[in-house]
Amino acid sequence: MISKAEGIVFRSIKYGEADLIVSFFTFEDGIIDFFVKSPRKIKSRYGSAFEPCTYSKIEYWKKEGRQLPRLIRSDIVYPFQKLRENFDHFLKSSELFEMTLNLVPPRLPQKELFYMLIDTMKSLENSSIMLKKALFYKAKLLTASGYVPRLSGCAICGKEGRAFFFHEGAVVCPICKEKIAKEALTPKLYLSYGAIKLFEKARVWDWKKLDRLVPSMGLLNEIDNMIDLHIKFQTEKNNKTKAFIKRMGYLIHETTG
């Protein structure tokens, strides 16, 4: 049966001599890996369809059992060419793709996140508000994937706190901090109140309303740093590789092309 979807190319990996495995973030079904047979032979039809960032409408065969679905058609909706050509902006979007791949399990629809990501990528193309938009996307991604750090109050008593403990994934107040001081090896980070407020708004506010915020670069960098360290701590170091090998397993075992 042929299925249709629209999605963003997160990454393409060569498979064998001439084939590709392409990870798409689709609106309909979340993250899916597709098998693409001999994309170079049909280059004229596809163009840059499998470059990261490309936003396309696709058609694919759903395969039996554990085989990867086979992509048979791709029509570019928006190429994000300008975004790909600016190295810094491309790097930023790659960072968001990696993070999404790490935090969102395959085939779990995330329709709101999908549109937020496209909106973020459009901002990245127009550069000026890129860091802000990317940060808001990360906050929404953490919320949608269940990895959101708790900054609204102390993990133990609920009172205000600024010491973010990576093990707890939450802030802890000065009094409770003393109680867990025995675990002094637990890495922590002190956040400013401004950064905590900004993150809480990014987490809770409606996506469109967030455009009204004009935070300082200092606050943006502070939150960005916290998020990166938090994710690094929360997801196992080799998580990405493991997930990838697990996905590749579908193909290695059963795809015959």
Pick the closer one to Zn ion by CB: 134 or 191: 191
Pick the closer one to Zn ion by CB: 73 or 188: 188
Total residues binding Zn ion (CB under 5 A): 6
Pick the closer one to Zn ion by CB: 21 or 172: 172
Pick the closer one to Zn ion by CB: 134 or 173: 173
The size of the chain, in residues, is 257
Tracing tokens 């999605």 back to the chain, one arrives at 7
| Interface characters, 144-183, with Zn ion (x: CB under 5 A) | ----------x-xx-x-------------x--x-------
Least distance from Zn ion to the Cβ atom of residue 142, Å: 22
Least distance from Zn ion to the Cβ atom of residue 175, Å: 5
Which tokens in the block code for residue 192?
């400013």
Least distance from Zn ion to the Cβ atom of residue 56, Å: 49
Which tokens in the block code for residue 194?
């401004």
List the interface residues with Zn ion, window 188-207 (CB under 5 A). Answer: none
Pick the closer one to Zn ion by CB: 180 or 220: 180
Least distance from Zn ion to the Cβ atom of residue 158, Å: 7
List the interface residues with Zn ion, window 97-136 (CB under 5 A). Answer: none
Least distance from Zn ion to the Cβ atom of residue 157, Å: 3
Interaction of residue 96 with Zn ion, rule CB under 5 A: no
Least distance from Zn ion to the Cβ atom of residue 52, Å: 43
Question: Which residues of the shown chain bind Zn ion in the complex (CB under 5 A)?
Answer: 154, 156-157, 159, 173, 176
